[in-house]
Amino acid sequence: MFTQLHPQTQTTALGLGTEGLVFGCDYNPEQWTYDTWVEDVALMREAGVNLVAINIFGWSHIEPSPGQYRFDDLDTIIDLLHSQGIGVNLGTGTASPPPWLTTRYPEALPQAADVTTRWPGGRQAYCPSSPVFRDLALRLVRATAERYGDHPAVRLWHVSNELGCHNALCYCDQSAAAFRRWLENRYGAIESLNAAWGTAFWSQRYSTWSEIQPPRTTLSFTNPMQTIDFHRFSSDEQLAQYRAEAEVVRQASSIPVTTNFMVTAHIENLDYWSWADDMDVIANDHYLDHRLDRPHVELSLAADTTRGLAQGEPWLLMEHSTSAVNWQPRNLAKKPGEMVRNTLTHIARGADGVCFFQWRASVKGSEKFHSALMPHAGTQSRVWDESVRLGALVGRLGELKGSRIVADVALVFSWENRWAADLDAHPTSDFSYLDQVHRLYGALWDLGITVDVVAPGAPLDGYSLVVVPSLYLVRDSEAEVVDSFVAQGGTALVTFFSGIVDETDGVRPGGYPGAFRRMLGVRADEFSPLAEGRVVALSDGSTGSLWSEPLELHGAETVTSYADGPLAGHPAVTTNRHGQGHAWYVSTVLEPASLATLVDSVATSAGVTRSRRVDPAHDTTTDSGTGHDVEIVRRTSGDQDWVFVLNHTDEAIAHDIEGYDLVTETALSGRVELAAGGTHVIRQNRKAS
């Protein structure tokens, strides 16, 4: 019988039956003929593909009418892949219901906040709380798991696909009923809900559970706790679908089970901290977002967050793209070398496998202009050539499988806080939690500091520095972890709008920043957000934007103060000795250069190690020779290190390095050049050096 591999008990290397790293892709054979399958499987071998995700959107193909299963095509493709030694990442097939299902049971369709129906014709058009959807999905999963549960080709079960990507929030009557059950379970008594939701306000008191609705479109601001709890509920509903499918799979199969997360810049409806323990392998999908200033830095943050979800264990990149996607307003092709750098960033930050969406570019449907390993142009193409070279490189990197990343810095990140902190009716609509996270993470990235992303309340032992960007909603117990980390000698860097409310979105009285006041040794009696576009001068000659506070010192010292406006003379940035450690507070949005200077000095005083040292003011290098936008990350195992050097700039750089480069397959020593956009993965033996 299958034993669940929780992160604590996982073996050090991602299993999945491959010798080295996973190099894989999604494949949608339903879109092609048998002859193409045969050709594809041969080409997959040429590209070094060793794991193929199939049956992700297979439902209408394998169950063309209710209860009538047609597994012959799936049998054939699985056997074909197996015959070439390629493993299968087998979808449970439930990602998108077939048209017969929602025609027969229209109540299974999801509804938006204004209770209008979202119709079939796209994908994932089902209500996550629909009992009929759940029953029919589990019937399909049972049939599939019983058929392939011990097939030697199957290495991994892929439950559904990106659960909640489109249907995370459903407001229909079935969802309303499920929401009420969830609330009853959480609060027990209606009066506890009334207290938590603050329904004394605006005549919102509930007498019975049946009066409660999801936060459907209202005339005015909606009760914030109704919205926050609806997010919590919705994340749990999606997880419940995963659990139900995984349980059925596990009754028939001992192969690991997972689903693909969406840890990425814009999708924030699921609290993956509460999902991670249910996964046998943590898997993520990540697409570069060319709308961002520095998409590769966001990619690093996503990868570090995924490693956090895996508690430092190796994880799997289940999807990314070889080149353009199809869903951004302007779908930029990746530049030569960009796919390789993206892939290496994921591996550098803990992935023991990288897969692509998808193998062969569709010729029909809304994803026909999405890139693939095999583009429309076929093998006579840049993308194919780069993909084959990448497959060979990933093959060579097999030796680092199971190695780890060691970080001195923890960054506290919370999806729950994203739901709460960005709500309306707050001090300024210009605030975005993710923006603040990105700013702090970006400053650390620029300094070459590797960061572990951790959940609020996660143990901080072993770190030198904890960074807490705008953690508006925080439980007392979670704030206490940061407090005692500092008291015992650690360093914390906290930014504005932190510690304000508890888990019921109730403001902590007595002044801001609430839960962190004592640790930070400061107090503000109000917020003073800035008018649109306004900046405020600071005593070090720089400026702050978005936010300010009439901060008073209660034990802390001023690092920088406000130099103009109504708050002139008040501290803006402070540091406080708390127990054996230090706690820094930033009460405004610093401009990037001064944030970099601050983070640099906080990290230096905390004794944080870094892969390189950059002078933030001049954007030049003082140690190893590399500059801004050069990413250096180290994976380590025993006496062996692998140093990833990824040049995201358009210029060649020179840096000092010793070791064997697995990219160019040459020994490097002393000052070496790395081409514009180029990469090194350098094996070093720590004993020898």
Which residue type, as a one-letter code, is found at position 220?
A: S
Q: CA-to-CA distance for 338 and 342, rounded, in angstroms?
A: 6
Q: By CB under 6 A, which span of 112-120, 158-166, 440-448, 605-613 interacts with ligand GAL?
A: 158-166
Q: CA-to-CA distance for 293 and 291, rounded, in angstroms?
A: 7
Question: Which CB atom, from 309 or from 454, has the smaller least distance to ligand GAL?
Answer: 309
Q: By CB under 6 A, which span of 160-168, 601-609, 620-628, 653-661 interacts with ligand GAL?
A: 160-168
CB of 161 to ligand GAL, least distance (A): 5
* Residue 111, number of CB atoms within 10 A of its CB: 20
Catalytic residue selected from 63, 162, 245, 338: 162
Question: Which CB atom, from 357 or from 431, has the smaller least distance to ligand GAL?
Answer: 357
CB of 180 to ligand GAL, least distance (A): 31
Q: Is 356 in the site for ligand GAL (CB under 6 A)?
A: no
Q: How far is CA 308 from CA 312, 332, 351, 406, 557, in A?
A: 6, 30, 12, 12, 33
Catalytic residue selected from 319, 338, 386, 416: 319
Question: Which CB atom, from 122 or from 566, has the smaller least distance to ligand GAL?
Answer: 122
DSSP line for 642-666:
EEEEEE-SSS-EEEE--EEETTTTE
In this structure, what DSSP letter does residue 162 have?
A: S
* Residue 526, number of CB atoms within 10 A of its CB: 9
Binding mask 614-653 for ligand GAL (x = CB under 6 A): ----------------------------------------
How many residues in the shown chain lie near ligand GAL by CB under 6 A?
A: 10
Question: Which CB atom, from 289 or from 422, has the smaller least distance to ligand GAL?
Answer: 289
Question: Which CB atom, from 341 or from 370, has the smaller least distance to ligand GAL?
Answer: 370
Question: Which CB atom, from 355 or from 394, has the smaller least distance to ligand GAL?
Answer: 355
In this structure, what DSSP letter does residue 20 have?
A: S
Q: Are 403 and 640 in contact (CB under 8 A)?
A: yes
Q: Is 137 in the site for ligand GAL (CB under 6 A)?
A: no
Using CB under 6 A, pick the residue from 261, 287, 356, 472 that binds ligand GAL.
Answer: 287
Q: Smallest Cα–Cα separation from 495: which of 579, 413, 580?
A: 413
Q: Is 472 in the site for ligand GAL (CB under 6 A)?
A: no
Which runs of E-coded beta strand occur in 241-377?
Answer: 257-258, 260-261, 283-285, 315-319, 351-356
Which runs of E-coded beta strand occur in 507-556?
Answer: 522-524, 535-537, 543-545, 551-553
CB of 365 to ligand GAL, least distance (A): 10
Question: Which CB atom, from 134 or from 320, has the smaller least distance to ligand GAL?
Answer: 320
* Helix (H) or strand (E) segment spanning residue 54: strand 51-54
Active site (annotated) includes residue 631: no
CB of 359 to ligand GAL, least distance (A): 12
Question: Which CB atom, from 319 or from 661, has the smaller least distance to ligand GAL?
Answer: 319
Paired tokens of 246: 């995984």
Active site (annotated) includes residue 162: yes
Phi-psi sector, 121: left (phi>0), alpha (psi -120 to 50), beta: left
Q: CA-to-CA distance for 351 and 245, rounded, in angstroms?
A: 25
Say which residue the tokens 């230090």 belong to.
582
Residues 358-387 within binding reach of ligand GAL (CB under 6 A): 367, 370
Q: Is 161 in the site for ligand GAL (CB under 6 A)?
A: yes
Q: CA-to-CA distance for 438 and 542, rounded, in angstroms?
A: 20
Residues 316-335 within binding reach of ligand GAL (CB under 6 A): 319, 325
Using CB under 6 A, pick the residue from 126, 179, 357, 441 that binds ligand GAL.
Answer: 357
Using CB under 6 A, pick the residue from 40, 63, 162, 629 that binds ligand GAL.
Answer: 162
Q: CA-to-CA distance for 617 and 298, rounded, in angstroms?
A: 22
Using CB under 6 A, pick the residue from 165, 515, 586, 608 that binds ligand GAL.
Answer: 165
Which residue type, as a one-letter code, is found at position 429?
A: S
- Whole-number CA gyration radius for the chain: 26
Q: By CB under 6 A, which span of 38-46, 159-167, 289-297, 389-397 interacts with ligand GAL?
A: 159-167
Q: CA-to-CA distance for 630 and 633, rounded, in angstroms?
A: 10
Say which residue the tokens 């707050």 belong to.
426
CB of 139 to ligand GAL, least distance (A): 23
Residues that bind ligand GAL (CB under 6 A): 161-162, 165, 285, 287, 319, 325, 357, 367, 370
**So which residues are the catalytic ones?**
162, 319
